[in-house]
Amino acid sequence: MTSLPQPVPLPGLPERVTVYEVGPRDGLQNEAQTVPTAVKVELIDRLAEAGLAVVEAASFVHPSWVPQLADAAEVLAALSPRPEVRYPVLVPNQRGLARALDAGALDVAIFGSATESFAQRNLNRSVEQSIAMFAPVVEQARAAGLRVRAYLSMCFGDPWEGPVPLEQVVGVGRRLLDLGARELSLGDTIGVATPGHVAALLDAFARAGVGPDRLAVHFHDTYGQALANTLAALQAGVTVVDAAVGGLGGCPYAESATGNLATEDLVWMLHGLGIATGVDLARLVETSRWMAEQLGRPSPSRVVHAHKAG
């Protein structure tokens, strides 16, 4: 049985947080082995049953780029319909958007970079060229009635360029929002952020006219800072936090990127702060254990380790 944290609120934090589950997409895209379609579908269904209201399901990137997610259309077609759950998918360009629309997607996300080095490695084009590529994608998606999210990578540091100026991150982020994205997820792709840096970046966005209601955070736990960074974001008013079940993930184009913040660890902290999520922690832990068995390795989640089966 999974024990629960004692809720002790801190002043000034949101009453409710949306946990944006990215494990089935951002997590599995970095696996060396290809996870069977049936396992992906069961993972997504289990996460939805655990109360996750947003589960990023797939990526319509060309299969040669990310072969682990080549079955995106099959995954979407096999999911159990749940009106209360959103299943966003990643699209890199108009071709990917067309495939997503054909598959019945209602939510899409584009993915940009705050740095030139990562834009070239991840998208094979400059930051300016990538924004030009995204413009018709966002326009067509919105015209079709889809919600659009934008990811921004390398917001806190880049393995090739080093520290990334706050103004540079804000400048690229605002341009993605200006295209028509509803939400911008700020990515600590290599996990080098610390709480003061998080607070400073969010303040820089606020001074540029972008409040926390338009922002989400996406932390990797490379140096064990993801929960501390999340708390700093909550204190700044952010109410959407990305996480991956079992801490799955990394980035296929940045070798120094390790796993995402584990959803179970995030939910434990949020519930301990008295923040509502709608997530059943016990079912989430059970799902994490099950997925670890499918992958043949233990979950790195601290909460899972603290609640060993039996």
What whole-number distance in Å separates Cα of residue 40 and Cα of residue 174?
34
What whole-number distance in Å separates Cα of residue 167 and Cα of residue 74?
41
- Residue whose C-alpha is closest to residue 131's, from 147, 111, 156, 154: 111
What whole-number distance in Å separates Cα of residue 157 and Cα of residue 129?
21
Which DSSP helix (H) or strand (E) runs through 170? Answer: helix 166-179
Residues linked to residue 243 through DSSP beta bridges, in sequence order: 21
What whole-number distance in Å separates Cα of residue 161 and Cα of residue 53?
36
Half-sphere exposure of 40 (CA within 13 A, CB side): 32
Place of tokens 């413009």: 135
| Beta-sheet strand order (sheet of 215-219) | 54-55, 18-21, 240-243, 215-219, 183-188, 147-153, 107-113, 89-90, 58-59
Q: Catalytic one among 251, 257, 266, 279?
A: 251
251 has catalytic annotation: yes
Q: What are the DSSP calls for 190-255, one per residue?
A: TS---HHHHHHHHHHHHHTT--GGGEEEEEB-TTS-HHHHHHHHHHTT--EEEEBGGG----TT-T
Catalytic site positions = 251
